[in-house]
Amino acid sequence: MLLSVRPRYAESILAGAKRAEIRRQRPGIAPGTPVIIYATKPLGAVIGTAIIDRVCEGTPADLWNQYHQEMGVTQDEFEQYLSGIPTAYLLLLSGASRLISPLTLDDMRESADFQPPCSYRYVDHSTLRTLVNGHPAGTSLLSATKLTHEGWRSPSGYLTQARASPAASATS
């Protein structure tokens, strides 16, 4: 999975300060799925990898109550991003690793007609191999993600429900 993340948050993931990536849409991925971290503009580059430990689903309030210390955002940023969304998702990450040399958008576009995703995109082995095309980070990126020739899009259904907070349960 190629995951687009703002540079500030991508750096926090790689530094180990942010372990939970917030998403508005449910990704169809399983625990153990490798993630390629693409830092959006102004950086515009693949800068690292991580592994999905778990995907959590719940109301924004329940997810905030359980995981806010791992999100690397303020409550205002969290609430603004999820405004109007009844159900949110968290990708709990581990094993974050920085590439020795970033794979820039220009590097990828030299090899293929590539448009980075707004949120995330499933990537198969052939596509990733084309994108890295001789880049110094290519071998480590292909190795870190441990891709198979079938790709790594996993079936959906690997979600953990956030526990409702006692206050939310009392008002329901």
- The CATH number that applies at residue 13 is 2.30.130.30
Any domain includes 165: no
What pLDDT score was predicted for residue 51? 93
Any domain includes 80: yes
What pLDDT score was predicted for residue 157? 37
Our count of domains for the chain comes to 1
Any domain includes 140: yes
Domain region containing 17: 2-158
Any domain includes 169: no
Overall pTM surpassing 0.85 (yes/no): no
User: Which CA distances in Å does 66 have to 27, 57, 154?
Assistant: 20, 11, 26
Residues (pLDDT < 70) of the chain are 133-137, 139-140, 142, 144-172
**What are φ and ψ of residue 65, in 5° steps?**
-60, -40
What pLDDT score was predicted for residue 146? 61
Give the distance, in angstroms, between the CA of residue 90 and the centroid of all CA atoms in the same chain.
Answer: 9
Any domain includes 163: no
Q: Which amino acid, residue 16?
A: G
What pLDDT score was predicted for residue 71? 97
Any domain includes 85: yes
What pLDDT score was predicted for residue 114? 81
Any domain includes 170: no
Any domain includes 77: yes
What pLDDT score was predicted for residue 52? 94
